Amino acid sequence: MAVGIFDSGLGGLTVYDAVSKRLPEVPIVYFGDNAHAPYGVRDADDVYDLTTKAVERMWEAGCDLVILACNTASAAALRRMQESWVPTDKRVLGVFVPLIEALTERSWGDNSPPREVDVQHVALFATPATVASRAFQRELAFRAIGVDVEAQACGGVVDAIEDGDMILAEALVRSHVDALKRKMPEPQAAILGCTHYPIMHDTFQDALGARVKVYSQANLVAESLADYLERHPTMIGTGEKNMFLTTGDVRKVSDRATQFLRRRITFESA
């Protein structure tokens, strides 16, 4: 009865943590493609090839439903996967939908025409590949009109987090927020469009100011997944135990994951 959570590295552990607390009875297979991280600087075909390979491994582990916790994979590969690759008895879902549901305060099943929403000025912080895809803006346009999205590509942040260099990560976040504010001086809301970024949530909030509502994805994805599984219980796969898989150095990744979640996490080779 497992579900899968995929990320290019360790950032998806923020989603794993939220899902495991929201659905403690559901085993989770987590796959980190640490050997090829970060995805944010790769082209779309490369991201697609790496993501499909990882998803196939999670299917082998008994996951019929896989969440792409990697925003870059959701932006660059998900639509192509859903249209031409995912078999009818499997599901691969992304992380944009729960975020847009929260931002626009309307459910994804609401197919009425786009309408005005309370927030008009939104800052999007994401990897270069996610920004280049314009996937967030495209999906948002199906639900809302009159929303100005200013995107800031946050180069270097994922690398710093993966390396455990939080001093560098904080400096980079503040630099990227300053760059965003030069383009949009007074955003009303900010989207942390990478699952690594919630680790730096307090830094983003401090740099943006208390008046800006900062949206992180982990809890939103967990609630959306719980709702989805309630409506589609047959999509819970046959896997029966939690697993942490990585393409990277097992010991190094395990140690870093333990630091992130502040409890012992042991990865095995994918």
Please report the pLDDT score of residue 248 as a whole number.
96
- Active site residue: 5, 13, 70, 73, which one? 70
Whether residues 50 and 25 fall in one domain = yes
The set of residues, in sequence order, having a beta carbon less than 8 Å from that of 113 and lying 6+ positions away, is none
Whether residues 170 and 123 fall in one domain = yes
Whether residues 66 and 109 fall in one domain = no
Per-residue confidence in pLDDT tens, the chain, 270 aa? 689 999 999 989 999 999 999 999 999 999 999 999 889 889 999 999 999 999 999 999 999 999 999 989 998 999 999 999 999 999 999 988 888 888 888 775 666 788 888 899 999 999 888 899 898 898 888 889 999 999 999 999 988 988 889 999 999 999 999 999 999 999 999 999 988 898 899 999 999 999 999 998 898 999 989 988 988 888 887 878 899 999 999 999 999 999 888 899 999 999
> Would you say 69 and 15 are in contact if contact means Cβ atoms under 8 Å apart?
yes
According to DSSP, the residues that pair with 29 across neighbouring strands are 4, 243
Whether residues 258 and 208 fall in one domain = no
> Would you say 97 and 128 are in contact if contact means Cβ atoms under 8 Å apart?
no
Q: Can 154 be counted among the known catalytic residues?
A: no
Separation CA 53–CA 206 (nearest Å): 38
Please report the pLDDT score of residue 15 as a whole number.
95
CATH classification of the domain holding 116: 3.40.50.1860
User: Based on the structure, what is the number of domains in the chain?
Assistant: 2
DSSP state letters, 231-243: H-GGGS-S--S-E
Whether residues 102 and 193 fall in one domain = yes
- Active site residue: 147, 191, 194, 199, which one? 194
**63-68/121-126 β-pairing:** unpaired
Whether residues 223 and 193 fall in one domain = no
Whether residues 38 and 109 fall in one domain = no
Whether residues 81 and 169 fall in one domain = no
Domain that includes residue 119, residue range:
97-215
Please report the pLDDT score of residue 195 as a whole number.
86
Whether residues 72 and 108 fall in one domain = no
Whether residues 110 and 200 fall in one domain = yes
Considering only CA atoms, which of 131, 135, 175, 178 is closest in space to residue 150?
131
Whether residues 11 and 28 fall in one domain = yes
Whether residues 74 and 119 fall in one domain = no
